[in-house]
Amino acid sequence: MSLPAEARYTIDLDALAANFSAVRREAEAAEVAPVVKADAYGLGLEPVVRRLWAEGARRFFTARLSEGVRLRGALGTSRPAAICVLDGCTDDAAPHLAAHDLTPVLNSLPQVREWTAYARTLGRTLSGVLHIDTGLNRLGLRPEEARALVQTSDGLHGVELELVMSHLACADPEVAPMDVAQAERFEAVTALFPQVRTSFGASAGLFLGERFRGQVVRPGIVLYGGGPFQTPDPRIRPVATLDAPILQVRSVAPGESVGYGAAYRAERALRVAVVGLGYADGVLRASERPRYGWFAGAKRAFLGRISMDLIALDVTGCEAWPGARVELFGPNVPVDEAAADAGTIAFELLSNVSSRVQRVYLGSDL
């Protein structure tokens, strides 16, 4: 016997496919290599990747080694995709990367040395991606380290580079001076590797124009329904919907408080719906701005503090009943807007939805 519906996370795989097509149009001649780290941004690695493969994706990026191993298993032997691991060849990772046919993104000279040494141990060539830090100051070789590597006769011996990549620091709709500076640094380094394809643009960069893309683009959030510049974009369809049922509707008199800490006190008579969703489900608790859910054709305000399992919603003036569902984000509340109200970005909102929320998939994962 199936359990009654609780909080629900609905993922529209047809919308995911539509966004992949939109990215391909924008990317023009560049290959589109989806970023599927963090369980495909919380939407579910296996169904997401199977659908993206069916739509033509042949290269994927994960963050962790464990994600790459899981992705290789999800694809199976019938789908021989290239899988690039952004963490790279960290301590003791080389045997596992090679065993699962994963391509490390080499982020430092020690990582390069470890991967080339393992290639020599195996007596065969291994693939790699060289990551150049052009100003973000996270992972990656500095440009001068890349030049030194090229000048060393055996610097990359045993490793066949599939890509030289970098990552933009800014995600603004207009080209920023920082973007131009990074592009200039990247172009200077990639000139040292004239036979190797380049990868520069992620979700924001690929929408800034050809100079900021490279020959392989790495979309993430735009595939999953967020805009490239952290605001809704008409080219991108909503993919994920988070909703939950009303558990109880109650009257609150003027002067009465709602929720922990009596943080909200009613100034007038209210009808309050108590919704079965809370921070244990991944709804962010803290925010300095008003928060809303969508119910009965309009945005309705949260009242008081979000608790572990419950949210109070103002449903004054509309019909509400136990079992009716309230949307936190989805087609009526764009995920970028919901994220801005919560003081964060769509990446966090999507990937934060917890495992106790039921996943429902629309469309085929083929």
Residues that are catalytic = 37, 260
At 200, give phi and psi (nearest 5°): -125, -50
Residue corresponding to tokens 């493969």:
53
Contacts 24+ apart (CB under 8 A), 148-155: 149/109, 149/112, 150/192, 150/193, 154/116, 155/112, 155/116
Burial call 98-134: b when 16+ CB within 10 Å, e when fewer: bebebbbbbbbbebbebbbebbeeeeeebbbbbbbbb
Count CB neighbours of 24 within 10 A. 17
Contact 305, 259 (CB under 8 A): yes
Give the span between the Cα atoms of 217 and 357, in whole angstroms: 32
3-state secondary structure 132-200: ECCCCCCCCECHHHHHHHHHCCCCCCCEEEEEEECCCCCCCCCCCHHHHHHHHHHHHHHCCCCCCEEEC
Give the span between the Cα atoms of 231 and 242, in whole angstroms: 18
Identity (one letter) of the amino acid at 36? V
